Every structure is written in C-alpha cells, then in structure tokens.
C-alpha cells in the first residue's frame, strides 16, 4: 500500500482525490463515525467566511443553496459526505490511529482496528481534537464554568449570566457577538484585536493566499488582520460590544482579577484560545516534536521523508487549513509521492 491518510476532513479528502486520480493504492482512516470531519462539531451558527463557489475541493465545487450567502456547517458536512461518494474514496471508519512507526522500508500504522503497512503516510488529523487553554494562575480555583470553543454550541445556555470571552481571533469575536445578546459579556485579548476591513471576506483571503503560494509579491493573509467582519461581528461592533480589555492576571474563585487589583465576578469563562497540532500518533517518527511546528519542506517532514503533513497551519502551506487551500497542498503532496515512487524525487 503506497499511501495511508489519517482522518478525512477536507484535507484528507483532497489528498484522496489526487491519489485516486494518480492510480495509487491507498486508504483513508477516519476516527469519526460519520463524514464531515471537524465541521460536525462546530457551534450552531458557524458559517464559512465566503460563498460556496469560493470554497471548493478539487474536482467538484460546493453547490450553492438558495438564500444562503455563506454556507452553514451543515451545508459543509453534506458537501463533504457527497464528495466522498462522488469520487468513491476509500474511507474506513471509525478507525483511530494510535501510532505510526518505522518498520524497515515501510511505515507501520497501528490502529484500534488492526495494522496497516504503507510506503508513505499523509497525516491530516488537523487541530480540532487538541484545544489549547493557557496556564493562567487560578484556573483551578475558579468555581464557575470553564469551556473551550469546541464545547460551545449556542448562546442560550448563558442567558442572564456574566461571561468572559478570552481570545483575539474569529471564534472569540463571533461567540462574543452571540453571547452578548443574552448575557453580560466581557471580551479579553492578550494583544490588541486586529479587524479586517468590512469588504474583506473569504474571497479576498483566498486570493491573497493563492498569490502568496504562487510566490507573488505582497503580504499574506495575516497582514490584513485577524478577525473577518462577518455580519454578526459587524452588528456587535455597531452595538458597541467589540471593546476588548487586556488579559486579566489571574482567575479567582468568583471571577477574574485585573492588573490594577480590581476583581470582576463572572459565571463562565469561554476560552477561544486556539488549538495545537494533533500529532501524538507520530511521536515515534518525530522524537523532537513538542506540541509545536514540525520541520517540513513543503508538506514533507524533514525528519521522516515518508511522512507528509496536511493542514496544520501555514507551515504546511499558505491557507492549508481552508477548503480551497487544502486542494493546493494535497495536489503538491501527491505529486511529490508519485515522483518518489518513480525514483525521481
């Protein structure tokens, strides 16, 4: 078996498309019981930043739904499910990969459903299963509720409460916009929030990432800002909600303590503080990895030439974690595998 992929979110499906087109024997192993990847676990109002036609996987564009400017999470899940079926991708589920280790000239893939042997492994597990919460003093003392972006579903459960939302990215801004309609919400960021212009959405971001990937001049997506001004966030701005405070110095039993010593009571802290790469299954191949970036040339690991990594951040390709970016990096990955199988690296 020349190639094996872990977890078919959009990145693994894109790789599966190109592997199938190249005629390479492969299998996609998915820990989830059903198609859709991380999109099955997003909050109720989660949407893409761009219209459906700007969010395709290779070979087949996302169909547009009437009356829907930006696709919902449910729409994306339906598209990924249909994509699997359309291209007859070889997906085995639920199969959780426990370890990938060297086994002579091949790699052994140990799972809860048996073992596989592969010439190459493409790891596309993403970051959703590894939420990050900073080690803030007093976290264990706080008597209220603490949850992460992955635990959030809708604002109704916080109605009438005092909520602190921590984070300077899109998730924090969107969740704050919702929660602030039903609760007394305070926004906290480690650094000043950077808002994109109102007319910038996924169409512009993908264009910038495409030019960057092609070696074009100019800055990357991060130069435009961190927060896309989707309708809910613009509305929060108009209501005067988008006014972040600097990070508190600690949690107390009843709330948060600011740098000047003042305390603010709260019932809930929502940590919108991002994720870390889910790479524990690769520890035997990457002994120097410590929950951070992995040295890579393109998407191929520098430490293990039979290992490729898709969608863990810009260090595996510009916008590689987006739908359209997944196709570009997957195409380059499969092309490199094909050349190496032919003895022409």
**What total of structural domains would you count in the chain?**
2
Same domain, 176 and 84: no
Q: What pLDDT score was predicted for residue 182?
A: 98
- What is the C-alpha separation between 93 and 288, in angstroms, rounded? 30
Same domain, 285 and 265: no
In a domain, 166, yes or no: yes
In a domain, 22, yes or no: yes
Same domain, 230 and 199: yes
Q: What pLDDT score was predicted for residue 311?
A: 81
Sign of CA dihedral 162, 168, 172, 177: positive
Same domain, 155 and 263: yes
Domain span including residue 31:
3-130+275-341
Q: What pLDDT score was predicted for residue 328?
A: 84
Q: What pLDDT score was predicted for residue 7?
A: 46
The pTM score is 0.81
In a domain, 138, yes or no: no
Nearest alpha carbon to residue 279 among 149, 127, 118, 111: 127
Nearest alpha carbon to residue 7 among 41, 38, 48: 38
Same domain, 184 and 105: no
Which residues of the chain, if any, have pLDDT below 70? 1-8, 201-225, 290-293, 313-325, 344-345
- What is the C-alpha separation between 31 and 15, in angstroms, rounded? 17
């Amino acid at each position: 078996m020349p190639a094996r992929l872990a977890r078919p979110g959009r990145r693994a499906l894109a790789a599966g498309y190109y592997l199938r087109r190249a005629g390479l024997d492969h299998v996609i192993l998915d820990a989830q019981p059903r198609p859709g990847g991380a999109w099955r676990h997003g909050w109720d109002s989660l949407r893409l930043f761009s219209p459906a036609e700007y969010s395709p996987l290779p070979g087949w564009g996302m169909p547009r739904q009437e009356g829907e400017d930006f696709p919902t999470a449910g729409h994306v899940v339906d598209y990924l499910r249909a994509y699997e079926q359309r291209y007859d991708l070889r997906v085995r589920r639920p199969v959780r990969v426990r370890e990938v280790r060297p086994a002579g000239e091949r790699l052994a893939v140990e799972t809860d459903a048996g073992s596989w042997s592969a010439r190459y492994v493409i790891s596309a597990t993403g970051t959703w299963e590894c939420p990050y919460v900073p080690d803030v003093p007093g976290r264990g003392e706080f008597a209220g509720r603490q949850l992460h972006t992955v635990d959030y579903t809708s604002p109704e459960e916080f109605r009438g409460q005092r909520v602190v939302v921590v984070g300077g990215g899109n998730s924090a801004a969107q969740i704050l916009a919702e929660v602030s309609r039903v609760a007394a919400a305070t926004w906290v960021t480690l650094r000043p929030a950077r808002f994109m212009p109102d007319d910038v959405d996924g169409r512009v971001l993908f264009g910038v990432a495409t030019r960057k990937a092609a070696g074009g001049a100019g800055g990357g997506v991060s130069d435009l800002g961190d927060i896309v001004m989707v309708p809910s966030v613009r509305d929060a701005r108009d209501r005067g909600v988008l006014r972040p405070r600097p990070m508190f110095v600690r949690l107390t039993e009843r709330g948060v303590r600011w740098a000047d010593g003042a305390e603010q009571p709260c019932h809930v802290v929502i940590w919108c503080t991002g994720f870390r790469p889910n790479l524990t299954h690769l520890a035997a191949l990457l002994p120097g990895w410590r929950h951070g970036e992995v040295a890579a040339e393109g998407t191929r690991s520098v430490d293990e030439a039979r290992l490729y990594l898709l969608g863990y951040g810009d260090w595996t390709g510009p916008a590689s974690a987006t739908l359209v970016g997944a196709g570009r990096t997957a195409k380059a990955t499969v092309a490199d595998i094909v050349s190496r199988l032919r003895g022409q690296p």
